[in-house]
Amino acid sequence: MSGRALLMWDEAVTGYDFGPQHPMDPVRLALTMGLVRAFGLDRAVDVVAAKPAGDSTLRLVHREDYVAAVKAASADPRHADQAYGLGTVDDPAFAGMHEASALIAGQSVAAAEAVWRGEAEHAVNFAGGLHHAMPGGAAGFCIYNDASLAIARLLELGVERVAYVDVDVHHGDGVQAAFWEDPRVLTVSLHEHPRTLFPQTGWPEETGAAGPGEGGAVNVALPAGTGDAGWLRAFHAVVPELLADFRPQVLVTQHGADTHFDDPLAHLAVSLDAQRAVQEACHELAHACADGRWLALGGGGYAVVDVVPRSWTHLVGIAAHAPVAPETVVPSSWRDEVYARTRQLGPGRMTDGRWPVDFRAWTAGYDPADRLDQAVLATRRAAFPLRGLLA
């Protein structure tokens, strides 16, 4: 296996653009790639532009009628069919929507293929992670579910066990739905509690379809306001034990940056330092549990200048085995780019000054009166016995 990492990038992914008033501003992708280049990380990885996913690939997850509806709306946004979630406030139709969405999906699928075939050890597609799209409809700013497509392609190639870990602030509902009945895929999602955030799913009791799929979905519903120590405590109380037991052949992770305390669309209080710590943990788990095979995706994140580019640049550096130190000053050339593109002042350093982030390990004991510990307990009690693990 090559020790190199792939970074999937094509400038055309910035064409995934719902319009000037939409929170998912594609400038976040351009600024991330700009920061990657400012640190020279594009020389520590192999930068690859893959082809868009074709119809046969899209149909690994998405219904043929839905793909046809996306194409129709893409050719003429006036023909967007809201029955498929298109032309809505969350997912406005735009010209070229199919092409941009298929391109992002193609990057994730090609990255998964390269990792499985040993052409690279790790791969990153920070334009991906569009985890809400369903087989028959768009949802939550997501048209095609590139994460599900990458996993489905791995299964098509003969992979027997794929683990998907989602740390976006929103539940990874589309990926869970795609593999609800498939024991070959373990989906784990840590997210803000569905009582307080879209998509109102991801309850601990959602554990997979009865029968072979039972125990294949694991959900940690975190109380609004959860900060660094609680977020890391929950991650380490659930994810490592599950992955050690499941022994995935490939680990796919989704790193939405919208858990951050500055994100305008959610209510967790996580810092860049904690996001970086979870990225490092996922990297270590890929080596410990999946022979190093790791596909890392982006996802949500709507603090498009201050948070997203820094978080995902850390992700690229970690995957490239060239991590950016938390105390590093942001290059002035990138801050100039930020101002030129957005007329905003960019951040001055690479994290929020909280490194190293401390948390109390689950093995040290728990407090049944603590809301965070109650959330972890609910998950462990619902899902762990189904996998033969102690709650």
The tens digit of pLDDT for each residue in 35-70 reads 999 999 999 999 999 999 999 999 999 999 999 999
3-class SS string, 147-202:
HHHHHHHHHHCCCCCEEEEECCCCCCHHHHHHCCCCCCEEEEEEEECCCCCCCCCC
DSSP string, 264-293: TT---BB-HHHHHHHHHHHHHHHHHHSTT-
Q: What's the confidence (pLDDT) of residue 156? A: 98
Instruction: Tell me: pLDDT of 259 over 80.
Output: yes
| Cα 263 from chain centre | 16
DSSP string, 235-249: HHHHHHHHHHHH--S
Rounded to whole angstroms, how far apart are CA atoms 104 and 147? 10
Strand, coil or helix: what is 89?
coil
Rounded to whole angstroms, how far apart are CA atoms 174 and 219? 13
Rounded to whole angstroms, how far apart are CA atoms 32 and 34? 5
Query: Would you call 255 a catalytic residue per the annotation?
Result: no
Instruction: Tell me: pLDDT of 168 over 70.
Output: yes
The H or E element containing residue 122 is strand 122-125
Of 137, 130, 206, which is closest to residue 166 (Cα–Cα)?
130
Single pTM value for the model: 0.98
Task: Take residue 142 and report the two structure tokens written for it.
Answer: 């997501």
Residues 373-386, mean pLDDT to the nearest whole number: 98
Percent of the chain whose predicted confidence (pLDDT) is above 70:
99
The tens digit of pLDDT for each residue in 286-333 reads 999 999 999 999 999 999 999 999 999 999 999 999 999 999 999 999
Instruction: Tell me: pLDDT of 124 over 70.
Output: yes
Percent of the chain whose predicted confidence (pLDDT) is above 90:
99
Of 127, 233, 243, which is closest to residue 190 (Cα–Cα)?
233
Rounded to whole angstroms, how far apart are CA atoms 95 and 146? 20
Residues 155-159, mean pLDDT to the nearest whole number: 98
- Of 98, 122, 131, 132, the active-site residue reads 132
Q: List, edge to edge, every strand of the sheet that includes 5-8.
A: 46-48, 5-8, 122-125, 294-297, 250-254, 162-166, 185-192, 217-222
The tens digit of pLDDT for each residue in 229-251 reads 999 999 999 999 999 999 999 99
Q: What's the confidence (pLDDT) of residue 3? A: 77
Task: Please report which confidence band the pLDDT of residue 2 belongs to, taking 50, 70 and 90 as the band edges.
Answer: low
Q: Are strands 250-254 and 162-166 parallel, antiparallel or unpaired?
A: parallel
